[in-house]
Structure 1
Amino acid sequence: MKRCFEGVGLRCFLQDGSMAATATQKNLLVFDFDETIVNENSDDSILQVAPGKQLPESIRQTFREGSYNEYMQRVLKYMGDQGVKMADFKAVYEKIPLSPGMRDLLQFLSKQQDHFEIILISDANMFGIECALRAAGAYSLFRKIFSNPSSFDKRGYLTLGPYHSHNCPRCPANMCKHKILTEYLAERAREGARFERVFYVGDGANDFCPSTALRSSDVAFPRKGYPMHQLILEVEKNQPGTYQATVVPWDSAIEICCYLQDVLKKKC
């Protein structure tokens, strides 16, 4: 597949393929993880090392809408009881495939760190995300990762906790990405950082909520046909003009790469 960042904008790019910085003001690029950076739900992926590669019905029946984090705590305890260890989880997380075009996008961003500050906000877990990103060679790209805390206890069980508490009625009890994003922007502003634009890349319903914090100059990249995209389309249909951000749906992350490249070219 052609990489859109090759052979374009010669006056903007250096010989090594990186773009010469033309301004000190960066853009903030926010990623989701499951079904965005990686092409699977990592919580489903770990079932590959569960007995029979599935959960017993007694566990599945405990799921309640809005309480997914608590449900995953029970799933992980069950897997620990069945003898699933750190090495088993690590092997699974490291093998989860990246979404189409994502490797190209990450390689592009590795050469554009003068232009983008990159963070990740995910309702997965820190251990799994770190394993996957390190395996992809992309961990160092992210200034900060926000996800549910996870660790291995004395028994060797992978344990999971909620990220925080909040009052947002649209989000699961353990995480509101809107709250995380707005607090991060406020913190960076206090530190003197000013972002020209915010770009948000996601797929799920819980990515729609933070995207409503975006301004008209910002860009939302919802994965085509996924819940975030569907919710944006519903709002644009039922409440025209209320959704502020420019919407750029994607099937392949190369489409995101091309859009970001065009943004940088216009600054040269």
Structure 2
Amino acid sequence: MRLEGKRAIVTGGASGFGAGIVRKFAAEGAQVMVADLNIDLAQTVASEVAGIAVQVDVASADSVAALADKVQADWGGVDVIVNNAGITHLPKPMETVSDEEFDRVFNVNCKSVYLMARAFNGMMIQAGAGAVLNVASTAGLSPRPNLNWYNASKGWMITATKTMAVELAPKGIRVNALCPVAGETPLLASFLGEDTPEMRAKFLSTIPIGRFSTPEDLGNAACFLCSDEASMITGVAMEVDGGRCI
């Protein structure tokens, strides 16, 4: 019960890595708020873990502010925030990505971290404690061609994690990131371009351990970094990638 008594928000918590983190946090004793654009899926996952489902658009200032109001009303504060919500554009040459695709990637992957910090830092600073976890990607460390702006958004997230960690450490708040390799999530087909046995085999050949990451892998790593066991760890971008970045 490493997160017993902790109040945790997981954005994008209704599927994929986010759902894995939600389930692990709940199993370790946390109260979990599943914050997702897809409220039906969020309610399904929340019902499994006696959690709370909230519909939120993490790229919208008004939506994130409403989430903060609910957290303050329901919980009176928060202990753990996982910025997991993310999106990608399809693999294509960088100059062919449309304005709309670019804006969507940076609004969901980057602006959301800013909006969540603006909405929730005050609660954590007032409490003098807290843990923030940003779900980045190996794409921010070892970029692949044709995912240029997605790669850049995750590199941004890693840098944001480190600067957040430096600024918030004196206030008792730790900030870390996870860098998973592609996994069995709804975004896999988008990363591959097409989800075929041939494309999977080609990608798996770049992962020394020989498999994709799973929601359980991310849940386990997230649990450690957000628990008191990691009280001396901040500003880290932990690779959960089976050796992909070596």
| Same fold at TM > 0.5 | no
Q: Which has the higher helix share?
A: 2
Which TM bucket (shorter chain)? 0.3 to 0.5
Greater RCO, CA 8 A, separation 6+: 1
Instruction: Choose 1 or 2 for highest CA Rg.
Output: 1
Give the alignment's TM-score, normalised by structure 2.
Answer: 0.45
Question: What is the TM-score when the length of structure 1 is the normalising length?
Answer: 0.42
